[in-house]
Amino acid sequence: MSPHLRRERVELKTPEQIALMRRSGLLLARVHAMLAAQLRPGITTGRLDALAEQMIRDEGALPNFLGYQGFPATLCISVNEEVVHGIPGPRVLAEGDVVSIDGGCIVEGWHSDAARTHIVGTPRSSADEKLVAVTEDALWAGIAALSGASRVGEIGAAVEDLVTLEAGETLAHLEGFGGHGIGRAMHQPPDVMNYRTRDRGPKVVPGMCLAIEPMLIQGDGSWRMLEDDWTVVATGGGRAAHAEHSVAVTEQGLLVLTAEDGGRAELAALGIEIAPDPAA
């Protein structure tokens, strides 16, 4: 999930607290894997939401989106022209739909937040496949940038550069929404922008935990909010994708809290070794 922007003090976590956040993130990674396996033409977004809530509660954890500023579900599910914060319900998914699933949970008071975008069955177009692939690459470019960054603002610059490199002007960022700090609350300072701004952001220091979440739209980035006051939809005729991980900065490097392998494989491909995983 993605907040509007603020600036306050950044909460730094101890290694013990990061280990608890890893438990929260690992459960969320497994929920996402379950949802990916369930996704098929004919399933409703409401059914996916119910499956996620059940799995989180079965593990003794709590959903953190449910009730957040009145949000009525465990997941945000945003289909096709919906960009973020779609509300699950009776909608039946169809072949070729672009479905972004955003979720989070709380383990012993510690929050996780992560999103993935899938195409149901056979993609409708190569443009849809590219949308999803570039969004995922942009996320990992942002995470990789954090590993060597001195300021949080370097994440957004790296995300923007990756999107420009891979997609030119064919994809636009959702402006006005971004990533965030995460910990004892889902949304904490600092803001983590998805594009270059004049604000360099706070210094990157061990103990910082951030949710990085590029949101991309085909064509121009114009959008509006639906009457439900949650769902952000693209108004330029394009589809949208969203990818997010919660990431910890430690003395020994990064740990991608919401990736099953802690980000080991993706970051190794970018020449980065992850920090020791307390869940391993």
Contact residues toward Mg ion (CB under 5 A) are: 1-2, 113, 211, 213
Q: Give me the least distance between CB of 100 and Mg ion, in Å please.
A: 12
When the beta carbons of 39 and 215 are compared against Mg ion, the nearer one is 215
Q: Give me the least distance between CB of 95 and Mg ion, in Å please.
A: 29
Q: Are 270 and 140 in contact (CB under 8 A)?
A: yes
When the beta carbons of 106 and 211 are compared against Mg ion, the nearer one is 211
* Distance between start and end Cα atoms, the chain: 27
When the beta carbons of 28 and 217 are compared against Mg ion, the nearer one is 28
Residue ranges of E strands in 237-278: 240-242, 245-250, 253-256
Q: Give me the least distance between CB of 244 and Mg ion, in Å please.
A: 5
When the beta carbons of 39 and 192 are compared against Mg ion, the nearer one is 192
Residue 187 burial (CB count, 10 A)? 21
Among residues 16, 240, 267, which one has the least CA distance to residue 131? Answer: 240
Phi, psi of 17 (to 5 degrees): -70, -35
Q: Give me the least distance between CB of 79 and Mg ion, in Å please.
A: 19
Q: Give me the least distance between CB of 1 and Mg ion, in Å please.
A: 5
When the beta carbons of 2 and 218 are compared against Mg ion, the nearer one is 2
Q: Which residues contact 175 (CB under 8 A, 6 or more apart)?
A: 195, 221
Tell me 66's DSSP state.
T
Q: Give me the least distance between CB of 127 and Mg ion, in Å please.
A: 26
**Could you tell me the maximum CA-CA distance found in the chain, to the nearest angstrom?**
47
When the beta carbons of 61 and 114 are compared against Mg ion, the nearer one is 114
| Separation between Cα atoms, residue 166 and residue 32, nearest integer Å | 26
